[in-house]
Amino acid sequence: MEEERRSNKRKRGRRSRHKVGSTEKPVDSASCANNPTRNSSNLTEVHLPVQYHAGYQEQISHWPEQPVNIIIKWLKDHSPSLVVADFGCGDARLARSVKNKVFSFDLVSSDPSVTACDMSNTPLDSSSIDVAVFCLSLMGTSFPSYLQEAHRVLKPCGQLLIAEVKSRFDPNTGGADPNTFAKAICELGFTSVSKDFSNKMFILLYFKKKEKQNSNKGIAWPELKPCLYKRR
Ligand SMILES: C[S@@+](CC[C@H](N)C(=O)[O-])C[C@H]1O[C@@H](n2cnc3c(N)ncnc32)[C@H](O)[C@@H]1O
């Protein structure tokens, strides 16, 4: 009995030392995204949603530039009548910063304006959205299903904006080739509009939905490494 009590105490101690949001921390986002409260010993990281958001905010607050601000600027440079879906919106900063109608989705929501759902299955009607945004949210191995959902809800010629952590796209360190990634997105039924690799911390990819649906069978999706958020 006493041994069991000591063992539980040791386990609790180990858990409380786990630091969410430390520098250059791999996020086991597949597990995290699909079940944010799962707490299992086979996960490389355990994430409680609130801690996750706090850790993420803390880390990117050190970046010289926030990708969400670039997307906000992009929207401000376009018509406010464009209807936007923010996939994996976090604290919904995007929706709070623009005049557009923004549908905000995240697995976890402490804000009534955010719809809590898995972004592979949103409640949006097909072909109802002008702009789909993924800002640092293509987490885990299910990312093709998120992009597939964006394709479903976008109107023909609707725009897809992706900002993702640069370290995931460095083939020299085991990351995906960004051009292979972009090619796979095009096979889903998009045209690449532009790519911006100029930022040290993240890449930006812009696509337009093709008018005609591609057959999306057999798309060679590259593997995306877990997110590494680095302090600059
Ligand atoms: C790194 S944060 C980015 C938040 C926000 N887009 C920003 O740039 O500030 C990634 C977000 O994606 C959400 N997310 C990850 N997988 C998801 C899924 N399958 N469905 C919905 N949201 C998901 C996480 O909960 C998290 O809030």
> Which pLDDT tens digit goes with each residue over 180-217?
999 999 999 999 999 999 999 999 999 999 987 766 67
Q: Encoding tokens for residue 214?
A: 């591609």
Of 99, 169, 32, 159, residue with least CA distance to 40: 32
Distance 8 CA to ligand 1 centre (A): 33
Residue nearest to atom 17 of ligand 1 (CA): 33
Nearest atom in ligand 1 to 33's CA: 16
Check if 135 has its Cβ closer than 6 Å to any atom of ligand 1. yes
Residue nearest to atom 9 of ligand 1 (CA): 90
Of 174, 231, 161, residue with least CA distance to 203: 161
For the chain, the domain total comes to 1
Residue nearest to atom 15 of ligand 1 (CA): 33
User: Does residue 44 form part of some domain?
Assistant: no
User: Does residue 61 form part of some domain?
Assistant: no
Tell me: the pLDDT tens digits for 88-145?
A: 999 999 999 999 999 999 998 888 999 999 999 999 999 999 999 999 999 888 999 9
Distance 159 CA to ligand 1 centre (A): 19
- pTM here is 0.78
Give me the domain span that covers residue 152.
67-220
> Averaging pLDDT over each range in 41-55, 146-160, 201-215, which range is the top one?
146-160
User: Does residue 119 form part of some domain?
Assistant: yes
User: Does residue 133 form part of some domain?
Assistant: yes
User: Does residue 74 form part of some domain?
Assistant: yes
User: Does residue 103 form part of some domain?
Assistant: yes
User: Does residue 24 form part of some domain?
Assistant: no
Check if 30 has its Cβ closer than 6 Å to any atom of ligand 1. no
CATH number of domain containing 143: 3.40.50.150
Whether 163 shows a pLDDT value over 60: the answer reads yes
Handedness of CA 115, 137, 83, 121 (dihedral sign): negative
Q: What is the mean pLDDT of the chain?
A: 79
User: Does residue 62 form part of some domain?
Assistant: no
